[in-house]
Amino acid sequence: MDNVVTRRSMLAGAAAGLAAPVVVTAAAPTAASTATTTGATRKITMYAEALPGNLIGYGLAPGQATVPGPILEIWEGDTLEIDLVNTTTQRLSIHPHGVDYSVDSDGSPLNASFNNPGETRKYIWRTRESTPALGRKFMPGSAGYWHYHDHALGTDHGTGGVARGLYGALIVRRRGDILPDKQFTVVFNDMMINNKLAPDTPMFEANLGERVEWIAIGHGATFHTFHLHAHRWADNRTGMLEGPNDPSLVIDNKDLNPGSSFGFQVLAGDGVGPGVWMYHCHVQFHADGGMVGLFLVRNADGSMPPGAQEAIDRFHNHQHSHD
Ligand SMILES: [Cu+2]
């Protein structure tokens, strides 16, 4: 199982397995959220490491790099301090979207903000809450489904690092946000999902009714559309409606273009039941080319629903045009 972390493992700070991203445990909001934003500074160490298949990944401990990298998660108002260790032989960096940082944490060669081979460098990401402004308007806070990536490997824009897997999800939560049971990171990177093609793309799993958070990120040089079968969400910050009159558009398909990201939560199989559901790029030749993965919704007790294994087998035997 790639790129899946359970809320339980996150809260416990347990190792989630070699292939699974680990959420920043120090930043873990609690489920029954009475936590307040404290303006706290969370400190982590990340390791950029070469991986098999010419990939490079970020990890939270030596030997634990993954593609995508770990989900980094903090409360709006808090600061994340990252000591990035470059264990590779190439210049690289970490550059965030959606948060505040000074030029020396920019992660770009333009600002001489990168790690030389073997070097450790500190990057500081700040966040802030929404504040009232004139005219009863508000300045936006930092809360959102963001992402981070290399900005120095190969070119001054990190084109080589991004292509090889140096990317991951960054979530800034607002106080009161509902926390998920499980989290999945889906990165449409050129013509691949998480640098894989079907049938090797991630199969995400949840039990019926579990609250599942999807973080979708676009990279590379190609435009995509993300579609999830049998589930839908509101096209706003959280993916949820705030009430019956919330005018947010409800969708099940959304543009996912280079540098963009969004997230949402669904209740697995809500209204449709357990089964095997596809997520895929809806550009037809991209889907045909292997930009397809599976979302297995098990029965509430964790058992396999009828027909699910057959569907999975069908997926693995399916011919994509890249075969
Ligand atoms: Cu596509």
219 CA to centre of ligand 1 in angstroms: 11
Q: For residue 42, what are the contacts with CB-CB under 8 A and spacing of at least 6?
A: 24, 26, 27, 74, 78, 79, 80, 81
What's the pLDDT score for residue 321? 60
261 CA to centre of ligand 1 in angstroms: 14
29 CA to centre of ligand 1 in angstroms: 34
What's the pLDDT score for residue 12? 30
90 CA to centre of ligand 1 in angstroms: 29
Rg (CA), the chain: 19
242 CA to centre of ligand 1 in angstroms: 31
125 and 101 in contact (C-beta within 8 Å)? yes
Residue 303 Cα distances to 47, 206, 277, 298, 308, angstroms: 37, 11, 16, 6, 10
User: Which residues are placed with Cβ below 5 angstroms of ligand 1, an ion?
Assistant: 224, 281, 283, 286
192 CA to centre of ligand 1 in angstroms: 8
Q: One digit per residue, pLDDT tens: the chain, 323 residues?
A: 344 444 433 323 333 333 333 344 434 444 434 445 568 999 999 999 999 999 999 999 999 999 999 999 999 999 999 999 999 999 999 999 999 999 999 999 999 999 999 999 999 999 999 998 888 788 899 999 999 999 999 999 999 999 999 999 999 999 999 999 999 999 999 999 999 999 999 999 999 999 999 999 999 999 999 999 999 999 999 999 999 999 999 999 999 999 999 999 999 999 999 999 999 999 999 999 999 999 999 999 999 999 999 999 999 987 666 54
Q: Which residue has the tokens 């449709």?
A: 272
220 CA to centre of ligand 1 in angstroms: 11
CA distance 146 to 163: 18
141 CA to centre of ligand 1 in angstroms: 31
257 CA to centre of ligand 1 in angstroms: 9
276 CA to centre of ligand 1 in angstroms: 21
CA distance 197 to 281: 12
58 CA to centre of ligand 1 in angstroms: 24
281 CA to centre of ligand 1 in angstroms: 5
- Predicted TM-score (pTM) of the model is 0.88
189 CA to centre of ligand 1 in angstroms: 9
CA distance 211 to 122: 34
What's the pLDDT score for residue 267? 98
185 CA to centre of ligand 1 in angstroms: 16
Sign of CA dihedral 96, 101, 104, 108: positive
33 CA to centre of ligand 1 in angstroms: 37
What's the pLDDT score for residue 33? 42
**CA nearest 182: which of 112, 99, 261, 267?**
267
